[in-house]
Amino acid sequence: MLKSAYIVALALFSLNGTAAEPIVISFSHVVADDTPKGQGALLFKKLVEQRLGGQVKVEIHANSSLYGDADELQALLDDKVQMLAPSLAKFSDYTKQLQVFDLPFLFDDLDAVNRFQKRPKGKQLLTSMEKRNITGLAYWHNGMKQLSATRALHAPVDARGLSFRIQASPVLESQFESLGAKAVKIPFAQTLDAMRNGQVQGTENTWSNLLSQNYASVQPYMVESNHGVLDYMLVANSTFWYSIPHSVRTELEGIIDEVTYSVNNAADTQNREARQQLASDAKVHLISLSNEERNAWRQAMRPVWQQYENEIGKDIIEAAQTVNRRR
Ligand code: LMR
């Protein structure tokens, strides 16, 4: 009895006699709560507070409310936030290898993406930014990207001359240029305004983001192209992460495994439901592509692979190509 009281007292007070402060993890992201990443962040907070309450506190800042695309990675490096989950398209200033995920038509579906992320080459990419003080903790899925526009897009030629909002990724810029379109890098939080004021007439995103951002109000033509993937890397500031006492960090890693499992299981369903909701919206024109039409988009975008092969690494692209199931 006396011994356990002593242990509790030690846990509550640091050696100089003042109450020990909890470790605070500020987790910033740019999407809505009702999306795969938004739900993942909330579940992480809930489990940490259930299991490490008093020792670790998690603060979630959703919807670019604290930092957005333009400054969140710098905020992580400056230790103003400790965790983020940017889309894999947003790391090109820190590593060129992750650009593999932006190559159009590389992965047939989310299951193929999942297989790649679990194989040695995919796992290795989690450590590709260690030198920059960024530790990759897990991959979180969102889903396959679709196109939206102010007019119907059936063939690549229909995109010619339009301006598309893209995430800040050189590969995505080349992808739209290969269609004869213009690509404009715009932070996620400013995208709807850029659509409304006519700066862009098209974009690409997952069903859950297209729905939660209300893009259909301006760009009602949506093409089920599944031409690329939008996934995330859960990352931490490495100095911060490795300063967490080992036993607490191990507990956090266990929680992250659980949250990752949950996010990655639910993402596909969330996107299917978002697609259904958009499909039943009278103002949305949902365009499905025949195999032949989809192949035309693939042919138009495919030269991008060659352009980025040296930067990304041939070995990584080849490893990613082995994960599609041959039909
Ligand atoms: C985007 O900028 O379109 C996405 O990366 C947003 C997100 O985090 O899902």
Query: Atom of ligand 1 at shortest distance to CA of 35?
Result: 9
- Predicted local confidence at residue 20, as pLDDT: 79
- From ligand 1's centre to the CA of 211, what distance in Å? 13
* CATH 3.40.190.170, domain 3-321, yes or no: yes
pLDDT tens sequence across 236-249:
999 999 999 999 99
Q: Kind and range of the H or E element at 50?
A: helix 36-52
pLDDT tens sequence across 155-184:
999 999 999 999 999 999 999 999 999 999
Smallest CA separation from ligand 1 atom 3, residue: 188
- Predicted local confidence at residue 233, as pLDDT: 98
Q: What are phi and psi of 325, to 5 degrees?
A: -80, 125
C-alpha–C-alpha distance, residues 253 and 127, integer Å:
15
Tokens of 237: 């500031």
Domain boundaries along the sequence of the chain:
3-321
142 Cβ below 6 A of ligand 1: yes
- Predicted local confidence at residue 326, as pLDDT: 61
Three-state DSSP state, 164: strand
Nearest to 84 by CA among 123, 125, 140, 130: 140
C-alpha–C-alpha distance, residues 88 and 81, integer Å:
18
Tokens of 119: 């194989």
Three-state DSSP state, 25: strand
* pTM reported for the whole predicted model: 0.93
Substitution site in 83, 184, 188 for ligand 1 pocket (most atoms within 8 Å of beta carbon): 188
Question: Tokens 């800042």 belong to which residue?
Answer: 61
Smallest CA separation from ligand 1 atom 1, residue: 188
Tokens of 42: 């909330």
C-alpha–C-alpha distance, residues 297 and 311, integer Å:
24
Q: What are phi and psi of 158, to 5 degrees?
A: -65, -20
Q: Which residues does the chain have with pLDDT short of 70?
A: 1-19, 326-327
Three-state DSSP state, 64: coil
